[in-house]
């Protein structure tokens, strides 16, 4: 009987790292359990506790460049690089059901997502407050849990709308198409 691999992802359910992990698992016909570890530091520190077998997190985007938090975390930890997983990232603007675009006063997301949608935000939300969050999917989850108020919208995946019961106000709001991000697969 084959051991089920534990694959740590930076992010929560609905994150793009989860999508990369699922893509890798399917491509390699692996039976994996996902462990949601919020950020890159969480993934790499999970190796210290032997809590995961593999980890996945983003490192670079063709529009917004290097994911600084990944490089900070990688500089603190020892790990072995296995491979790149390239994904096309399509961002959506999500809000609570019933909220209209003109009611949005704050846009919340991971710093890279805000950068990837900078032109869109400048054209459509030049007066909105932009707030950085730990993860795109965590922002969606926090909006659904009322941690963020009703005048907030989040930039996250289409999957987050379904998972967290949010409405999609706009699809494909990234400035560059294709919007490609490289995720790396690592082990202890």
Residue 183's pLDDT is 96
Global pTM value = 0.92
Query: What fold, for 5-89+178-187?
Result: D-Maltodextrin-Binding Protein; domain 2 (3.40.190)
Where in the chain are all domains bearing CATH 3.40.190.10? Answer: 5-89+178-187, 92-170
d(CA 155, CA 119): 14
Region 167-181: what's the mean pLDDT?
96
Pick the CATH number of 92-170 from 3.40.50.150, 3.30.2320.50, 3.40.190.10, 3.10.20.740: 3.40.190.10
Region 14-25: what's the mean pLDDT?
95
- For the cut 90, the answer to whether the pLDDT of residue 167 exceeds it is yes
32-70 per-position pLDDT tens digit: 999 999 899 999 999 999 999 999 999 999 988 899 989
Residue 38's pLDDT is 85
Residues 6+ apart with CB under 8 A from 73: 39, 40, 41, 43, 44, 57
Mean pLDDT score across all residues of the chain: 94
């Amino acid at each position: 009987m084959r051991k089920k691999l534990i694959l740590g992802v930076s992010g929560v359910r609905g994150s793009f790292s989860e999508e990369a992990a699922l893509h890798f698992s399917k491509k390699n016909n692996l039976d994996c359990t996902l462990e949601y570890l919020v950020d890159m530091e969480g993934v790499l520190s999970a190796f210290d506790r032997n809590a995961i077998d593999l980890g996945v997190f983003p490192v670079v985007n063709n529009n917004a460049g290097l994911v600084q938090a990944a490089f900070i975390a990688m500089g603190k930890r020892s790990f072995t690089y296995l491979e790149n997983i390239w994904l096309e990232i399509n961002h959506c603007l999500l809000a609570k059901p019933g909220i209209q675009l003109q009611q949005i006063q704050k846009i919340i997301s991971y710093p890279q997502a805000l950068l990837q949608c900078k032109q869109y935000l400048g054209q459509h939300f030049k007066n909105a407050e932009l707030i950085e969050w730990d993860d795109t999917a965590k922002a969606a989850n926090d909006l659904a849990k009322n941690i963020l108020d009703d005048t907030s919208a989040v930039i996250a995946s289409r999957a987050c709308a379904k998972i967290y019961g949010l409405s999609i106000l706009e699809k494909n709001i990234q400035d560059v198409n294709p919007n490609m991000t490289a995720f790396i697969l690592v082990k202890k």
